[in-house]
Structure 1
Amino acid sequence: MSTKIGLVHATMNSVQPILHAFHTHHPSVDLINVMDEGLIYELNETNTITQSMIRRLMDITGKAEDAGADAILLTCSSFSPYVPEITHLFGVPALSSDESMLDKAVEIGGKIGVIATVAKAGPTTTNLLYKTAEEKGKTIDVNTVVIPEAFQALQKANQAKHDELIHTEIDKLSKDSDALILAQYSMARSLDSYERGSTPILTGPEVSANAIVKLAEKG
């Protein structure tokens, strides 16, 4: 019987990058997608995560478990701080979108540049990086840039503008960073048209896909 992974989304923009990661690295895994896209619209309008939003996140996570998922990956980084609060309510393991990526960034250490396109995702990723570093006894320095215009462009299907805005910030931050993080799954596709330099650029989809499959197989 093949492994089943539940993917919990708050935006359509995260779907293609994570599906691509699974199809490339774990093609035999069955994927169960559930979504409440209203979450990201409400978050962008209010820049606040409410108890009602957390309950909705729990509801769709439960649907993934009910559908037979062996493990669940929540793909929206803005909700990552709340994942530990709800995972104990489910009978299968669950990971936030960026947990494995943050671990990898802290291992590299030094100066870490964070690029986000959703206002809440920038400080969320930054705070989680510092928390992860503290837990591992590491010292890091984080420089965070948020470019909401890029997310707006993607919502209007203007992929080229989205990618161009991200590339510009990568070029700037690379000059003084030991590693870069693209905070959201929706940003990963921008690297398809970018010629990378020597600075590592970490994205969530590939790292998270590997981690959640490993977790599912451990049971």
Structure 2
Amino acid sequence: MQFLGLSIVLAVFTQLICGLHFDIPSNHHSELVCVRDFVQQGQLVVINLFSDGSVGDGQMLNLYVRDSVGNEYRNKRDIAGDINVALTAQATTSLDICLENLAQIKGAAMSRSVELDIETGSEARDWNLISANDKLKPIELELRKIEELTDEIADELVYLKNREERLRDTNESTNSRVTKFSLLIIIVLGCLGVFQLNYLRDFFKSKNII
């Protein structure tokens, strides 16, 4: 029961949508403004973006969606108004949603106001369509949402556990190598000290000092 209660609480917090509102000043050179979110491989991602202004108003707003391993999902140029982008993550990594606002008129200080919502996993699914197709009651629909959110949380915990194990193995391997390297240095220094003592003894004997 405690696990179920914790899962429901986490599911409620996970339902929060990443909603952002910001202004992007226009520039004559490329200057990216990026928002980063973590995604899992095979996870559905829906990006809802709204910007004021219009095409041809002296500004060119460009959208780039890529992840940290080099996959590029979208490259939309000169956008305005409502833009919706749906994609499936190709790797478990961080996803970057980047915008740039290029000025088309010299000497004019302009900007675009942008609203950005990022939905991932079960949040990005069309639950109204699912409810209609499967003929689910409201309580059944909520239970389905909680079930999928719980599965996502469990998968993320497994990923974090595996990542912690990999980092621990790397740390232990590094510590073992450092220990072996330190022992090697001690042995080399000891051998060098013995060699120097023997050399000095032979030298002093040759000079009849000892």
Give the TM-score of the pair, scaled to structure 2.
0.25
Q: Looking at CA atoms only, which structure, 1 or 2, has the larger radius of gyration?
A: 2
Q: Which structure dedicates a bigger proportion of its chain to strand?
A: 2
Q: Which structure dedicates a bigger proportion of its chain to helix?
A: 1
